[in-house]
């Protein structure tokens, strides 16, 4: 839900505010406080109530005060013409700051305080009278006091002075309306501009619609005759359509008559079917009675048939039983024959078993006794045990060697991987050198590695690969201190090596330096005094990197690294004090400070350069570490080779021991195998004798054959008795089956006679049933015909109703038309022929005519509405113009009087006029015309006709002319007197002093780097001096406590001593 607007309409005229007892007006700035803002650490300023002259050298911070006023009172950074982000206004090196501006309230005791806290991350926080507020609330407070920091007539910063001079007359009018006079003027002006645009739009629409209306009327006049002919044709077509509506109803009546005939025929056939059905029912009654008795006879036949089947089933069971008994009897007889044969065979087998037993016992007695060689086996066992102990010892030694070899291989792999990583880092360093301009540095580096054995002493290079810096900041300092060419250089320690490299590396464009140790060179000892530590100095440039001695000596001796110190951020803030300790070269995280002393006058000059980030040093690693890794790799490879040879020897010895042990095992197994074979032969012979004994005993223990034979004879007699009983039962069942079949034959014959009688009755029923069926088919056909006619009738009715519903009017019209289908169709054809004879060439003429007629009516209404709107808009413009233009003319006249008077006092001429353009209110503007030479004419103020100083004078006098008419608390003008000659500047200053001395004029801030001597001041003038420098802190404290100028100069003298 939106809040209801609380904005009120501005008053008809700005109320003039008057000064209070303290000579301040509401909205005047009574105090400005800055912390860490632009060039200021701390500033507290209390401006006067009238004209404030802010003076100070260029760069002292005058414009910083202007920026603080604009930003502290709700302005955006863009209107200052400087940085576009608020974070850029925080003092360099600080994280945050604030602007505090105190305004006078409506009374003397009321004080309005606005604080804006800013930080380097472009964040702002607003406080109003100590409470957190939004920017919108601050802007609303500014509007209450009519403070417009974005209006160039009220607020003119140094970087936007040229913008004021470039203002067009239209823009100057808009800025003036906002700054002075009736607050309704800019609103009315804006409304007049909008209304004038609206008026032009309406006039164009009226003109365009009028032309379009005339064209449409002319086109419709040409089509009227064709439209009349088309309308006559439409009447004939309408008559034909009416006739066409009756045609389906006539067809409906014809179909209805056919339907009634079909329905009458269906009724007659239905009556015939009822009579045939009655005759058929009378014939069917005796047949049905016979059919009811027939199932009883069939049931008796079925019962006899079941008895016959049951008898046959029992006979079959007895036959199967008798057959089974016969099989059993034959089996018994066969067993008795087999038993006689088995007895004869048993006697023969007993004789044979006794003979086999005697042969086996003789073989067992003749088999010799075999004893195993125990002494030989014990000796072989002892030898095998000794060989196993030796093999285990060799195996343990092999495992130890393999463990050590594995450890060495792992260490070798780690060393190789580490060396590859280090060499890859060297490649990164070489690539960095190539990217920075040393295109053939890779070729030079590889050439040196391939020909290193041809050199007399160690050669280092490129130097970038030899230097190792662990700290990023130190790398920035070292790379910034040492020239670029040294990083791609090669350093030799023998003149012959230098000459050799110069000859061969000349095509690679790399410098060659020869290092000769100087034992007499004085080395500066590393020492940091307490005074240095207090200022943040903690190290020296020659102490922050590692390199081979030759490389390090070259860098120190050539580039004075032992005289360059390293400090912290604290050192950056106390740079001037470091110079007093005779430290002429030092680095901080942000800057590089260097001082030099003149050889002639002893003057000291300094330079400060920002620290650039390192692009080379932090890409690689330590070269000494690479050499150590290579040595370690060679040692490990030799150790691994020696361990592998020892391992091969152990494996050979172990293999010979294993072969000797295998031979002894084989010999022992052959002896054991022979012993086992002999023992197996004896056991087999013993088992064979036992088996033959058991077989003989088994044959002797078999049953007596006579008892078995008697048992078989008894069983055969029993089976014969049972077989005879089965034959008697079968005979009885056959007698019973004959009786059942005779009775079944009698019943079946009776049933056949009954079926013949039923067929005869049914044959007499066929003719009446056929007649009834024919009548039923005829009835179905009649029903279908009737239904078809009914569907046709319904379809015809739906078709007729879809074309036309019969109404009393339509029924009356049908009576006047022909009554038969043929006559009606002929009348329709004649009417259509007559209509087609009046056919127009343009089929859409009526539609086009009516569509255009609709457009004519719509445009006529729109034209009348636009004319009314035009009258209304003209009336509104006249009403606004009557209120706005006289007020604006009066305002411009007052500005002109003051402007002309001010120019006359400066012995030059000038005027301000209103540039009017009838109803083109967006072209209205203010023309400033000036003449600085007696012989010249008044010219419009522009860069083409006036110099920079003349434009500055004109600008400041125009602003002074607004002074009495402006109802704003203060005005700010920054260095407007730049480019003025002394005469114009003096006259301009007198005008400012005079304007500031007038009652109820706004507070004014004029910023300038200098003032002319012997200017006339008044009590309304306040001079604010901007002074800064290394000795300003103590005088500022004296001034703050109200001390005199003498005390301040005394303090200043002491601070310089």
What HEC string does 750-799 produce? HHHHHHHHHHHHHHHHHHHHHHHHHHHHHHHHHHHHHHHHHHHHHHHHHH
Alpha helices in 373-440 (DSSP H): 374-435
pLDDT at 588: 92
**Predicted confidence (pLDDT) at residue 513 exceeds the cutoff of 60:** yes
Percent of the chain past pLDDT 90, that is, above it, reads: 5
Q: Which two tokens stand for residue 740?
A: 């059942």
Please tell me the distance from the alpha carbon of residue 997 to that of residue 1009, in angstroms, as a whole number: 23
* CB neighbourhood size of 586 (10 A): 28
**Predicted confidence (pLDDT) at residue 669 exceeds the cutoff of 50:** yes
pLDDT at 4: 34
Structural domains of the chain ordered from first start: 29-166+943-1026 (3.40.50.300), 437-515+527-614 (no CATH)
pLDDT, averaged across the chain? 79
CB–CB of 91/42 below 8 Å?
Answer: no
User: What is the average per-residue pLDDT within 383-410?
Assistant: 84
How would DSSP label each residue in 678-725?
A: HHHHHHHHHHHHHHHHHHHHHHHTPPPHHHHHHHHHHHHHHHHHHHHH
Q: Which two tokens stand for residue 788?
A: 């078809």
Q: 539-540 and 512-514 as β-strands: parallel, antiparallel, unpaired?
A: unpaired
Greatest mean pLDDT among 371-380, 678-687, 882-891: 882-891
pLDDT at 1056: 39
**Predicted confidence (pLDDT) at residue 610 exceeds the cutoff of 80:** yes
Which of the pair, 421 or 219, is modelled with greater confidence? 219
507 upstream amide cis, omega within 30 of 0: no
Q: Exposure string (b/e) for 590-628, b if CB count within 10 Å is 16 or more?
A: ebbbebeeeeeeeeeeeeeeebeebebbbbbbbbeebee
Please tell me the distance from the alpha carbon of residue 294 to that of residue 156, in angstroms, as a whole number: 136
Kindly indicate the confidence band of residue 9, based on its pLDDT and cuts at 50, 70 and 90: very low
Enter the pTM of the model: 0.39
Please tell me the distance from the alpha carbon of residue 737 to that of residue 316, in angstroms, as a whole number: 13
Summarize pLDDT for 142-179 with one digit per residue, the tens. 888 888 777 766 777 655 556 666 778 888 888 777 76
Tell me how many degrees the CA angle 267-273-278 measures, rounded to the nearest 5. Answer: 135
462: left (phi > 0), else alpha (psi -120 to 50), else beta?
Answer: beta
**Predicted confidence (pLDDT) at residue 766 exceeds the cutoff of 50:** yes
**Predicted confidence (pLDDT) at residue 599 exceeds the cutoff of 80:** no
**Predicted confidence (pLDDT) at residue 671 exceeds the cutoff of 70:** yes
**Predicted confidence (pLDDT) at residue 17 exceeds the cutoff of 60:** no
Which of the pair, 625 or 25, is modelled with greater confidence? 25
pLDDT at 955: 77
Taking alpha carbons only, the member of 100, 97, 94 closest to residue 112 is: 100
Percent of the chain past pLDDT 70, that is, above it, reads: 87
Kindly indicate the confidence band of residue 675, based on its pLDDT and cuts at 50, 70 and 90: confident
Q: Please enumerate in sequence order all residues whose Cβ is within 8 A of that of 727, keeping only pairs 6 or more positions apart, or say none.
A: 322
pLDDT at 728: 84
pLDDT at 957: 75
Q: Exposure string (b/e) for 541-552, b if CB count within 10 Å is 16 or more?
A: bbebbebbebbb
> Radius of gyration (Cα) for the chain, nearest Å?
68
CB–CB of 986/906 below 8 Å?
Answer: no
pLDDT at 1035: 67
**Predicted confidence (pLDDT) at residue 490 exceeds the cutoff of 90:** yes
Greatest mean pLDDT among 155-164, 215-224, 546-555, 852-861: 546-555
Q: Which two tokens stand for residue 947?
A: 């110099």
Summarize pLDDT for 722-760 with one digit per residue, the tens. 878 888 888 888 888 888 788 878 777 877 777 777 777
Exposure of 371 by Cβ count < 10 A (0-12 exposed, 13-18 middle, 19+ buried)? exposed
User: What is the average per-residue pLDDT within 1001-1017?
Assistant: 80
Summarize pLDDT for 283-316 with one digit per residue, the tens. 777 777 777 777 877 787 888 888 888 888 888 8
Which of the pair, 105 or 234, is modelled with greater confidence? 105
User: What is the average per-residue pLDDT within 544-572?
Assistant: 89
Greatest mean pLDDT among 231-235, 350-354, 449-453, 827-831: 449-453
Please tell me the distance from the alpha carbon of residue 1000 to that of residue 19, in angstroms, as a whole number: 6
How would DSSP label each residue in 87-148?
A: GGGBPTT-SEEEEEEEEE-SSTT-EEEEEEEEETTS-EEEEETTEEE-HHHHHHHHHHTT--
Summarize pLDDT for 965-983 with one digit per residue, the tens. 666 788 787 776 666 777 7
Q: In what order do the strands lie in the sheet with 925-931?
A: 909-915, 925-931, 939-940
**Predicted confidence (pLDDT) at residue 478 exceeds the cutoff of 60:** yes
Q: Please enumerate in sequence order all residues whose Cβ is within 8 A of that of 62, keeping only pairs 6 or more positions apart, or say none.
A: 54, 55, 56, 974, 975, 1007, 1008, 1009, 1026
pLDDT at 1040: 60
Summarize pLDDT for 1029-1046 with one digit per residue, the tens. 666 666 666 666 555 455
* CB neighbourhood size of 408 (10 A): 20
**Predicted confidence (pLDDT) at residue 450 exceeds the cutoff of 50:** yes
- Give the number of residues written for the chain: 1057
How would DSSP label each residue in 927-957?
A: EEEEE-STTS--EE-STTTS-HHHHHHHHHH
Summarize pLDDT for 900-939 with one digit per residue, the tens. 877 777 777 888 888 888 878 888 888 888 887 777 778 7
pLDDT at 12: 41
**Predicted confidence (pLDDT) at residue 629 exceeds the cutoff of 80:** no
């Amino acid at each position: 839900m939106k809040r209801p607007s609380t904005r009120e309409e501005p008053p008809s005229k700005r109320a003039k505010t008057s000064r209070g007892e303290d000579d301040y007006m509401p909205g005047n700035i009574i105090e400005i406080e800055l912390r860490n803002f632009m060039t200021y650490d701390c500033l507290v300023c209390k401006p006067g109530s009238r004209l404030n002259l802010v003076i100070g050298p260029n760069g002292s911070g005058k414009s910083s005060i202007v920026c603080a006023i604009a930003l502290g009172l709700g302005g955006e950074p863009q209107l200052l013409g400087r940085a576009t982000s608020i974070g850029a206004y925080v003092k360099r090196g600080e994280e945050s700051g604030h602007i505090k501006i105190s305004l006078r309230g409506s009374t003397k005791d009321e004080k309005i305080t606005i604080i804006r806290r800013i930080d380097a991350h472009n964040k702002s926080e607003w406080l109003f009278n100590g409470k957190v507020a939004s920017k919108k609330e601050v802007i609303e407070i500014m509007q209450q006091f009519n403070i417009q920091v974005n209006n160039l007539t009220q607020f003119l910063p140094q970087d936007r002075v040229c913008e004021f001079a470039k203002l067009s007359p239209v823009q100057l009018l808009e800025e003036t309306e906002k700054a002075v006079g009736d607050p309704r003027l800019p609103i009315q002006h804006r409304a007049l501009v909008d209304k004038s645009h609206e008026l032009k739009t309406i006039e164009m629409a009226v003109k365009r619609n009028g032309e379009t209306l005339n064209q449409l009327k002319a086109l419709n006049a040409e089509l009227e005759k064709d439209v009349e002919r088309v309308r006559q044709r439409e009447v004939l077509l309408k008559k034909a359509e009416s006739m066409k509506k009756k045609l389906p109803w006539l067809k409906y009546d014809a179909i209805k008559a056919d339907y009634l005939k079909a329905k009458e025929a269906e009724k007659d056939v239905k009556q015939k079917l009822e009579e045939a059905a009655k005759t058929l029912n009378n014939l069917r009654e005796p047949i049905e009675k016979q059919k009811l008795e027939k199932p009883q006879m069939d049931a008796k036949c079925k019962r006899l048939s079941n008895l016959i089947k049951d008898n046959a089933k029992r006979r079959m069971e007895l036959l199967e039983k008798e057959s089974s008994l016969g099989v059993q009897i034959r089996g018994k007889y066969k067993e008795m024959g087999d038993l006689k044969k088995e007895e004869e065979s048993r006697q023969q087998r007993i004789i044979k078993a006794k003979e086999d037993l005697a042969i086996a016992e003789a073989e067992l007695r003749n088999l010799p006794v075999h004893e195993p060689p125990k002494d030989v086996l014990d000796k072989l066992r002892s030898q095998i045990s000794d060989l196993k102990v030796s093999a285990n010892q060799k195996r343990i030694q092999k495992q130890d060697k393999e463990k050590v070899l594995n450890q060495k291989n792992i260490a070798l792999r780690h060393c190789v991987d580490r060396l590859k990583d280090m060499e890859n880092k060297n490649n990164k360093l070489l690539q960095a050198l190539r990217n920075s301009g040393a295109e053939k540095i890779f070729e030079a580096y590889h050439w040196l590695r391939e020909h290193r054995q041809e050199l007399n002493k160690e050669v280092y290079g490129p130097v970038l690969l030899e230097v190792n810096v662990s700290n990023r900041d130190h790398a920035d300092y070292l790379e910034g201190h040492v020239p670029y060419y040294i990083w791609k250089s090669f350093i030799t320690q023998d003149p012959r090596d230098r000459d050799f490299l110069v000859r061969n590396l000349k095509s690679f464009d790399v410098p060659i330096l020869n290092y000769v140790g100087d034992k007499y060179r004085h080395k500066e000892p590393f020492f940091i005094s307490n005074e240095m530590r207090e200022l943040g100095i903690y190290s020296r440039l020659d102490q922050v990197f590692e390199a081979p001695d030759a490389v390090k000596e070259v860098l120190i001796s050539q580039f004075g690294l032992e005289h360059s110190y390293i400090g912290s951020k604290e050192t950056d803030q106390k740079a001037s004090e470091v110079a007093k300790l005779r430290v002429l070269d030092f680095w901080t995280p942000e800057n590089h400070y260097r001082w030099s002393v003149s050889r002639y006058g002893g003057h000291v000059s300094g330079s400060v350069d920002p620290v650039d980030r390192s692009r080379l040093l932090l890409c690689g690693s330590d070269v000494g570490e690479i050499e150590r890794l290579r040595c370690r790799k060679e040692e490990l490879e030799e150790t691994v080779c020696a361990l592998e040879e020892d391992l091969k020897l152990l494996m050979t010895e172990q293999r010979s021991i294993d072969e000797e042990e295998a031979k002894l095992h084989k010999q022992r197994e052959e002896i054991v195998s022979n012993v086992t074979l002999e023992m197996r032969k004896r056991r087999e012979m013993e088992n064979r004798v036992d088996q033959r004994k058991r077989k003989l005993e088994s044959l002797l223990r078999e049953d007596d054959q006579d008892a078995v034979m008697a048992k078989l004879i008894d069983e055969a007699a029993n089976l014969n008795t049972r077989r005879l009983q089965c034959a008697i039962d079968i005979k009885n069942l056959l007698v019973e089956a004959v009786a059942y079949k005779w009775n079944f034959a009698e019943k079946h014959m009776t049933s056949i006679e009954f079926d013949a009688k039923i067929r005869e009755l049914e044959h007499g029923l066929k003719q009446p049933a056929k007649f009834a069926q024919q009548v039923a088919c005829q009835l179905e056909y009649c029903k279908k015909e009737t239904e078809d006619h009914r569907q046709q009738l319904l379809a015809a009715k739906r078709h007729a109703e879809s074309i036309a519903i019969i109404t009393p009017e339509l029924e009356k019209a049908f009576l006047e038309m022909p009554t038969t289908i043929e006559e009606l169709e002929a009348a329709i054809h004649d009417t259509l022929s007559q209509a087609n004879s009046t056919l127009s060439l343009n089929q859409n003429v009526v539609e086009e005519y009516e569509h255009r007629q609709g457009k004519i009516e719509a445009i006529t209404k729109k034209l009348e509405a636009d004319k009314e709107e035009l009258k209304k808009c003209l009336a509104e413009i006249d009403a606004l113009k009557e209120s706005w233009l006289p007020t604006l003319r009066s305002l411009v006249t007052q500005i002109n009087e003051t402007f002309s008077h001010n120019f006359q006092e400066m012995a030059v001429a000038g005027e301000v006029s209103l540039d009017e353009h009838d109803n083109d209110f967006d072209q209205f503007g203010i023309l400033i015309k000036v003449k600085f030479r007696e012989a010249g004419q008044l010219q419009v103020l522009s860069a083409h006709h006036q110099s920079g100083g003349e434009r500055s004078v004109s600008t400041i006098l125009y602003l002074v002319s607004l002074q009495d008419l402006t109802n704003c608390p203060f005005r700010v003008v920054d260095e407007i007197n730049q480019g003025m000659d002394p005469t114009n500047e003096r006259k301009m200053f007198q005008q400012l002093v005079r304007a500031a001395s007038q009652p109820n004029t706004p507070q004014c801030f004029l910023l300038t780097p200098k003032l002319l001597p012997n200017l006339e001041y008044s009590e309304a003038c306040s001079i604010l001096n901007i002074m800064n420098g290394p000795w300003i802190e103590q005088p500022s404290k004296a001034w703050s406590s109200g001390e005199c100028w003498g005390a301040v100069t005394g303090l200043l003298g002491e601070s310089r001593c």
